[in-house]
Amino acid sequence: MKKHTILVLLVLSIALVLGSVAPASAASLHMSANAKTHVLGLASRVDFTARVSRRSSVRVTLYKGSKTLRTLKAKKSGSKYLASWNLKDSAGHKVASGTYGYVVTAAASSARKTVRGKVSVPTAPVAAPLPPGGRFVGFYVSGNMSSASGLNTIESEIGTRAAVVNMFVSDSESFPTDRCQVLASRGSIPLVTLEFWSVDGVGVDAINNGSRDAYIRSFADKAKAFGGEVWLRPFHEFNGDWYPWCGTVGSNTPAKVAAAYRHVHDIFAAEGASNVKFVWCANSDNCPGTSANAVENYWPGDSYVDYVAIDAYNWGSAESWSSWRSFASAVGGQYQHLSALTSKPMFIAETGCAEQGGNKAQWITDMFNAIRNTYTRIQGVCWFNVHDTNEDWRIESSSSALSSFATAAKAGY
C-alpha cells in the first residue's frame, strides 16, 4: 500500500473517533420543568420536577427580583430530577409570602438548557389556638376529610370554629398528610386516633417486641414532615374489652399496654417529631370493672403524656343493654381518677348522646354546665357527630339539640 493511502486512512480514522466523542450541541439537550407548592400545615414547601433528555447536572436557582436567594441541586429519581425548597434562603431564614422566580438549569458536557418560571409562596395557616380563658369544641365527622364541607356546615350551624377535629387511622394506613393539610388550612388541629388493628390475635406484644417499629417510624417521619401541630391518640379506650389493644384482651395486661404506649412515644421522640402531642385516652368506664383493670394501672408517666382524655357516651335506651345516664354519671368517676393521676390538660375526646330515653337538648346543656361548674379541668369537648344505625349522635338530630349546643359553644361554656 502506498504511503499517501495509509495517511488518508489514518486521518479518516482519527476524524471518525473524534466525531464519536465530540460534545453534543445545546440543541440536543431537551428539558421540561415545573414547580408545585404544597401546604403542609405550618411547613409549606415547593417541589421542582425536571425531565431531561439525557443524564445531566440539574440545579434550581431561586430569586426575588434581581437577588439570588438559594441554589438547590436536584437529585435523579428514575426518569426525573427532583428538588425541594423549604422556603428558606441560603442563610436559613424563612422567606415571606409572595411570588418568587426560579431557573432550572440542566448541563451535560457543553450542552445547557434552562427553564424559567415563577412560584407563589402562600401565607402558612396558623393552627387554632386553645382559648386561654375559654374552652374549645371539636368534632368527629364521617368521611375521609378530603374536603371540609361537613365541618363547614357544622360551624355555620353553631356559629363557632371546630378547634380540634378527630379522625381514625388504621395501622394499615400511612400518616394522613392530605387530611391533616385540609384541617390545618382551615385552622383546626388534627386529632389522629391511631388504631393498631394489626395486633389482633397477637396482642400488644407485637408493639413491645419491635416488630411494628418500621411502620411506627415511617408514620412519625411523615408526621414530622407535615410540620403542623398534631394530637396523636394511640391505644384509645385501653381500659375497655372491645379492641385488640385493650388491657384485658388475650395476652394483654395494663402494664403491657402502658409499655406499648411508651414505645410508640419513644420512636416519635427519636425521630424528632416534636410537633406531635400525645393523648392518653381512657374510656369513661373500666370494662371489666376490676381492680386489675383500674385506669391507674395503664398510666405511662407524665413525661409521655401531653393531654389526658376521656371517651364518654349516653346511649339512652337505644340499645337493649343501655339506659339513660347524665354526663356527670358517665364522666365523673373517671374524671376524679385522672385528676389524681396527673395535672396534664384534660379534654373529652369522644362524646355523644342518643335521642331515645330522655331529653337530648337538656343533656347537652347539662354537660356544658357540668364542665363549667364541676369538671373545670376539662378544656374541650370533641363531639362524635355521626348517625349510626340505632343512635343518631349528631348535634343536629333535632333543632332543640342543635340550639343547645350552639348556645353553649358560642358562649365558650
Q: CATH number for the domain including 106?
A: 2.60.40.10
pLDDT value for 125 = 52
Alpha helices in 233-343, H assignment, sequence order: 254-270, 327-341
Indicate whether 162 and 100 sit together in one domain: no
Q: What is the pLDDT of residues 91-102, one digit of tens each?
A: 988 888 889 999
Single out the residue of 236, 195, 193 nearest to residue 212, CA to CA.
195
Q: Is residue 129 part of a domain?
A: no
> How far apart (Å, rounded) are the C-alpha atoms in residues 108 and 121?
31
Indicate whether 222 and 87 sit together in one domain: no
Position 22 confidence tier, pLDDT thresholds 50, 70, 90: very low
Q: Is residue 280 part of a domain?
A: yes
Indicate whether 151 and 110 sit together in one domain: no
Indicate whether 237 and 185 sit together in one domain: yes
Indicate whether 205 and 73 sit together in one domain: no
Single out the residue of 19, 83, 17, 25 nearest to residue 50, CA to CA.
83
Position 86 confidence tier, pLDDT thresholds 50, 70, 90: confident
Give me the phi and psi of 368, to 5 degrees please.
-65, -35
Q: Mean pLDDT in the chain?
A: 88
Position 121 confidence tier, pLDDT thresholds 50, 70, 90: confident
pLDDT value for 146 = 59
Q: CATH number for the domain including 336?
A: 3.20.20.80
What's 392's DSSP letter?
B
Q: Is residue 296 part of a domain?
A: yes
Position 45 confidence tier, pLDDT thresholds 50, 70, 90: confident
**Contact criterion met (CB below 8 Å) for 193 and 233:** yes
Indicate whether 85 and 143 sit together in one domain: no
Q: Is residue 8 part of a domain?
A: no
> Which of 121, 150, 171 is a domain's end point?
121
Indicate whether 275 and 343 sit together in one domain: yes
pLDDT value for 134 = 67
Domain count, the chain: 2
What's 276's DSSP letter?
E
pLDDT higher than threshold 90 for residue 279: yes
Q: Is residue 323 part of a domain?
A: yes
The domain in which residue 368 lies consists of 136-411
Single out the residue of 147, 125, 128, 146 nearest to residue 138, CA to CA.
128
Residue with cell 376521656: 310
Indicate whether 159 and 40 sit together in one domain: no
- pLDDT top residue among 259 and 185: 259
Rounded to whole angstroms, what are the CA distances from 396 to 30, 294, 311, 313?
59, 35, 20, 17
Single out the residue of 237, 223, 127 nearest to residue 173, CA to CA.
223
Percent of the chain with pLDDT over 70: 88
pLDDT higher than threshold 50 for residue 7: no
Q: Is residue 13 part of a domain?
A: no
Rounded to whole angstroms, what are the CA distances from 376 to 285, 302, 311, 332, 347?
20, 20, 17, 12, 10
Q: Is residue 330 part of a domain?
A: yes
pLDDT higher than threshold 70 for residue 20: no
> How far apart (Å, rounded) are the C-alpha atoms in residues 32 and 17?
32
Burial environment of residue 43 by CB neighbours within 10 A (0 to 12, 13 to 18, 19 or more): middle
Indicate whether 161 and 117 sit together in one domain: no
pTM for this model (two decimals): 0.72
pLDDT value for 124 = 57
Q: What is the pLDDT of residues 282-331, one digit of tens each?
A: 999 999 999 999 999 999 999 999 999 999 999 999 999 999 999 999 99
pLDDT value for 6 = 37
pLDDT higher than threshold 60 for residue 355: yes
> Which of 95, 121, 147 is a domain's end point?
121
Q: Is residue 1 part of a domain?
A: no
> Which of 63, 98, 121 is a domain's end point?
121
Indicate whether 42 and 172 sit together in one domain: no
37: helix, strand or coil: strand
Alpha helices in 227-359, H assignment, sequence order: 254-270, 327-341
Indicate whether 271 and 239 sit together in one domain: yes
- pLDDT top residue among 188 and 9: 188
Indicate whether 178 and 265 sit together in one domain: yes
